[in-house]
Structure 1
Amino acid sequence: MKKILFCLSVVIAGVTLHAQIKKLPVVTAPTFRKDTVNIVKFGAKGDGVTLNTKSINDAITAINNKGGGVVVIPTGMWVTGPVELKSNVNLHLQKNAVLQFTEDKSQYDLVAGNWEGIPQMRNQSPIWATKAINIAITGNGIIDGAGDVWRMLKKDKQTETQWKKLIASGGVLSEDQKSWYPSEVFRKASQMKNPGAITPDKTPEFYKGIKDFLRPNLVVLTQCKNILLEGVTFQNSPAWCLHPLMSENITIRNVYAKNPWYAQNGDGIDLESCKNVLIESSTFDVGDDGICIKSGRDEAGRQRGMPTENVIVRNCIVYHAHGGFVIGSEMSGGAKNIWVDDCTFIGTDIGLRFKTTRGRGGVVENIYINNITMKDIPGEAILFDMYYAAQDPIVLAGERREPPKVETLPVTEGTPQFRNIYVNNVVANGAAKAIFVRGLPEMNVKNIVMENMILQAEEGLDMTEGSGISLRNVKLITKQTNPVLNIHNSKDITLDKITYNEGAELLLNVSGEKSGGIVLNGTDVNKAKKGTEFTFGAKENALKMK
């Protein structure tokens, strides 16, 4: 990939913001020696019964000892336990090869790992590497993580027939009969607070006692350099599908990450504290976030101090997921210099999803998003939320959620920040809400430009505690028109060339005593039955119309 120079100059609240990514490092896919070994030569059998853990790992070790090359998984079904990738090895799956990880949990050792941004004990990941250089998983085959035996399930996410079949398979139910767990051990551990966290008071016996609960991610590549994932389908993970952690120079191309839509924590890819990454021409259809940027959680993430940076995401498709492109919520080490271009989200709960909460800390900045197409989004097309509460983005039937308590707290190292984000050329055909912005009173969502958009949604703009935010040349086609734009306790907001439904009940509601410096420009206010309204302490001089 050639070096790329991105230069943006945008005006926010009358101030020109020069946002520039200079000379993104070259992301070069690793190359490998032509030496090739077939796992069959090491005794592997593709009969769907034989456990091939030793044969596959022996093949990888042998080619590694020779200086590197290709380990071939031929056509067939190859049952195995955990596989360790080693330096200079390309694990290549031929067409119609299925690498099927065993459902026998005893084959997965308990190891010190990382879960949702903090050090935790986990079952060994099905595919893993630590401090390896020049590694790849390529080909046209399928890698299946046997995730069904690891996950809990919610009744609301199953049909009646599926639920009855699940109960008949074994496991236990919650007291309210609304959740299924693979075992009593899992159920009890799920009621503990961070049971897998590595703390001095916990013994090896304790972790063994909750082993069933400690689900692994399918592929974990820790502190590795020069990584290529290409062409392969990664599916049915116990938890996250792809998890590069503190790694660099990563190319992910033409992969398919596939998890059941109901899979708890079934993310597609989570880049955590990684740098110099290219993700392109890939498809995600999963149970949680699709393409997600992370960098550690709370104090542990801040101490690590490794942002995810210098990332290009382009020409990707996300189907079911909690979010199409996502940053957070574990972003305590920060995220910066990220370019997302030419992506499509279809049926994704939220399109562009930026989420965090108090306690995280970290700065998300210099994010550039261009040419995004969305269709049938159940939630928000674009969301910035600093009150993330670790819940599914779409409320389930009968579920009741209270709005967060709004209070101003002191700014500390645990106060997160979203700033300097540019979103251009978005088309959304169907969403519950076009744009949602919810900052903290002590730390607003800051310096965001959103322009050149056509957004069809039930509701338009809903903004609270934002500052230095611009919407330019945005067309809102909404069913809810009272109001089309709602701005609360926000300042230095520019609304330029906004178009909306003829005959809307109310164009703009400004509320809250802190609202001010709002400019409405180039917009036909007379198309609405009522142009503006000021409520909950907002004053008319908070708005200027040009």
Structure 2
Amino acid sequence: MNKTQFVVRVALATLASFPTLAQSPVAYSWTNLPKIAQPVFRKDTISVLAYGAKPDGVTLNTKSINAAISACSQKGGGVVLVPSGIWMTGPIELKSNVNLHLKKSATLLFTTDKNQYALVEGVYEGKRAARNQSPISGINLTNVAITGQGIVDGNGDVWRAVNKGQLTDSQWQEKVASGGVLKDDGKVWYPSEQFKRATTENRSMLLAAGKAPQDFADMKDFLRPNLLVLTGCKKVLLEGVTFQNSPAWCLHPLMCQDLTIRNVTTKNPEYAHNGDGMDIESCKNFLIEGCTLDVGDDAICIKSGKDEEGRKRGMPTENGIIRNNIVYNGHGGFVVGSEMSGGARYIFVSNCTFMGTDKGLRFKSVRGRGGVVEHIYAKDIFMKDIAQEAIFFDMYYFVKFATDGERDERPVINEGTPVFRNMKFENIVCNGATKGVFIRGLPEMPIKNIEMDNLVLQADKGVELIDASDIRLTHTQLITKETKPVILVDNSHNLTFDAVQYDANTNLLFSITGERSQAIRVSHTDLTKAKTKAEFTKGAAEKQLIISQ
């Protein structure tokens, strides 16, 4: 087996260290947070200069850098030093007990020569797939790190397609002049004819039975790599470094244990397709703190495999601490899904700031995924200028509804039914969003047992609850532009609204619709400020709104 292959099957060797969803993990809490073991390295230092590397931005240093890493590991480990300079290189393979340390002003710049990246078996959105070898990778390692104050640059622009509308006129002209080909309508730039053909023919990169990576050679240019992929590793540290300009996802720890990402910056252009910042997939015991993200897709994202393949892997992402991070551009500040078929649990998010992300706290899935997502806790989250929803749950990810707008309401529960439950969000401030809270579950499996306490949400719209149950909204201020209604309830039950404040002269406080809307309790809330307290449609019964003081 080629040592550079991103062999997903390495998970089998470590599967025993991950409890299945049927087992009961430690009941972590804010006073009993998960413990993350840290790697330890010898102080012995090897410079890549000693192996012939040159920081001139021209010399291809792949062999030199990998030789230094291998020699360090074989001697028992230590530090491989990358001094200041621009170090052009092809794929780098990390080794156990090695800390790759980038000095300030050191840049690892990955070559635009795609022939340097072998076709390998990897993972694409939770499933086995043919990929180009990642610029940085490691498999089944123990004690491994990338530290320092340098930059890792994936040269991603040569890999990515881009829509004309995502660039300024001058940027588009520069892109066209750089080479590549255009879509027939002239509105999309592709890196190559091969990329264009694979896209327009909707070619799959998935490794079905009997398929090998080399079978995809005619679409190699389309198989964009993630910048860094660590598979089945233990005691991993990423600290201080800037990871930027990735061809696809930036950081992808897969089936790792005891992972720390500290004071890292991830940067991808806003137009970067699949330009996620961090995708923590099927990992156990992890800490993400002090990081800054400005990316083209989800920022900090929790995943655990996709559909049947993810369920068979059976590795939840669990026991995580995410704190003191800042997210600028991104499709979500903290995200779970949509590939979460192995589940996620006991994740604690605190003291994070989201500035201008599409969404804030984002949870997404769809029928067929399966998986259980529970025990997610967030507190002290501060958001500004959120383009869409501040708190968002949707079980219809990428689903096109029927032309009449009705949802598919077949009450079928099976192994592909996603379950999202048992979460608490507290001390959340959002200054600007289209919606404060949006929760949409499935008729057969509502989003359930979500507690939200001490929220101040300034948004165009307030709260929408669709196919949800056991939702508690307490001590919350809703400052909304639209006041008809402030709170929409659609086929949801066992809801509690306690000490909710809203704007004076509101036209309609509650719109309650659907015969499954039941047991809606309102307390310690001044209803006199609303011109109309509530309206009931589509079978909703007025008696189901229970008011007390």
TM-score, normalization by structure 1: 0.93
For structure 1, which runs of at least 5 residues remain unmatched after alignment? Answer: 1-17, 392-400
State the secondary structure of the residue aligned to 1:49: coil
Q: What's the secondary structure of 2:215's corresponding residue? A: helix
Selected match of 1:235 from 229, 244, 257:
244
CA contact (8 A) 1:240 1:268 kept: yes
Match of 2:343 in 1: 334
Residues 339, 302 of structure 1: alpha-carbon distance in 2 compared, 3 angstrom cutoff: same
* 1:266 lines up with 2:275 in the alignment: yes
Shift in Å, 1:27? 1.0
- Local SS of the residue matching 2:72: helix
- Give the letter for the 1:250 counterpart: L
Q: Are residue 299 (structure 1) and residue 274 (structure 2) matched? A: no
CA pair 390-210 structure 1, distance change in 2 beyond 3 A: farther
CA distance in 1, matches of 2:541, 2:165: 45
Equivalent residue runs for 1:58-457 within 5 Å: 58-193=67-202, 195-200=204-209, 202=211, 206-389=215-398, 405-457=407-459
Paired amino acid for 2:534: T
Among candidates 485, 488, 511, match of residue 487 of structure 2: 485
Matched position secondary structure for 1:517: strand
- Taking the aligned partners of 2:129 and 2:192, their CA distance within structure 1 comes to 21
How big is the shift at 1:390?
8.1
Structure 1 counterpart of 2:361, one-letter code: L
Partner of 2:5: none
Go from structure 1 to structure 2 and tell me whether the alpha carbon gap of 1:20 and 1:36 turns closer, same or farther (over 3 Å shift): closer
Report the alpha carbon displacement of residue 26 of structure 1 after superposing the two structures with TM.
Answer: 2.3
Alpha-carbon distance in structure 2 between the residues aligned to 1:114 and 1:203: 13
1 CA distance for matches of 2:539 and 2:406?
A: 21
Q: Deviation of residue 405 (structure 1)?
A: 3.2
Whether the 8 Å CA contact 2:130–2:213 is kept in 1: the answer is no
Query: By how many angstroms is 1:42 displaced?
Result: 0.3
**Amino acid aligned to 2:445:** M
Aligned equivalents of 2:203, 2:536: Cα separation in 1 = 45
Deviation, structure 1 residue 19: 7.2
CA–CA distance in structure 1, aligned partners of residues 488 and 88 of structure 2: 55
**Map of 2:40 onto structure 1:** 31
Distance, in Å, in 2 between the alignment partners of 1:47 and 1:256 is 24
Q: CA offset at residue 25 of structure 1?
A: 4.4
Q: Do 1:19 and 1:366's aligned partners in 2 also have CA atoms closer than 8 Å?
A: no
Whole-Å separation in 2 of the counterparts to 1:518 and 1:56:
63
Q: For residue 406 of structure 1, report the CA deviation from its aligned partner.
A: 2.9
Query: How far 1:267 moved relative to its partner?
Result: 0.4
1:10 is aligned to none
Relative to 1, partners in 2 of residues 1:64 and 1:77: Cα closer, same or farther, differing over 3 Å? same
Paired residue secondary structure (1:209): helix
Identity of aligned residues (%): 57
Instruction: Return the offset for 1:191.
Output: 3.5
Structure 1 partner of 2:4: none
Give yes or no for contact 1:387–1:404 (8 Å, CA) kept in 2: no
| Deviation by residue 1:252-287 (Cα, 9 ceiling, x = unmatched) | 100001110110000000000000001101111000
- Note if contact 2:440-2:468 (Cα within 8 Å) is conserved in structure 1: yes
Instruction: Say if 2:151 and 2:242, in contact at 8 Å, map to a contact too.
Output: yes
What secondary structure does 2:197 align onto? helix
Quote the offset at 1:115 in angstroms: 1.0
Distance apart, 1:206 and its partner CA: 3.5
Report the residue type matching 2:442 in the other structure: L
**C-alpha displacement at 1:113, in angstroms?**
0.8
Post-superposition Cα deviations, 1:4-36, rounded to whole Å, max 9, x if no partner, equal: xxxxxxxxxxxxxx9754855421221211110
Secondary structure, counterpart of 1:87 in structure 2 = coil
- C-alpha contact 2:130 2:212 (8 A) present in aligned 1: no
**CA deviation after TM superposition for structure 1 residue 177, in Å:** 2.7
How far apart are the structure 1 equivalents of 2:396 and 2:212?
35
Partner of 1:51: 60
2:542 alignment counterpart:
540
Give the whole-Å Cα distance in 2 for the aligned partners of 1:150 and 1:404.
Answer: 39
What one-letter code is carried by the residue in structure 1 that aligns with 2:327? Answer: V
Structure 1 residues 407-465: Cα deviation after superposition (integer angstroms, max 9, x where no partner)? 22410100001000100000000001100010011110010001101000011001110
- CA pair 155-120 structure 1, distance change in 2 beyond 3 A: same
- Aligned counterpart, 1:499: 501
Q: Which has the higher mean CA deviation after the structures are superposed, 154-163 or 261-270?
A: 154-163
Query: Which amino acid letter does the alignment assign opposite residue 463 of structure 2?
Result: L
Quote the residue 1:6 is aligned against: none
SS in 2 for 1:185: helix
Question: After superposition, what is the alpha-carbon deviation per residue over 1:212-250, rounded to whole angstroms, capped at 9, x for unaligned?
Answer: 000000000000000000000000000011000000001
Query: 1:227/1:449 Cα in 2 relative to 1: closer, same or farther (>3 Å)?
Result: same
Distance 1:28 1:194, change over 3 A: farther
- 1:295 and 1:499 map into 2 onto residues whose CA distance is 38
Does the aligned pair in 1 maintain the 2:28–2:34 contact within 8 Å?
no
Shift in CA distance, 259/47, structure 1 to aligned 2, threshold 3 Å: same
TM-superposed deviation, 1:346:
0.2
AA of the residue aligned to 1:486: L
Letter of the structure 1 residue corresponding to residue 341 of structure 2: S
Q: Rate the CA distance shift 1:194–1:448 in 2: closer, same or farther, 3 A.
A: farther
Give the CA deviation at 1:185.
Answer: 1.1
- The Cα of 1:194 is off from its aligned counterpart by 5.8
Determine the C-alpha separation between the residues in 2 that align with 1:455 and 1:182: 43
Secondary structure of 1:284 counterpart? strand
Q: Is the 8 A contact 2:131 2:213 kept in 1?
A: no
What is the total number of aligned residue pairs between the two structures? 520
Task: Tell me the equivalent position of 2:461.
Answer: 459
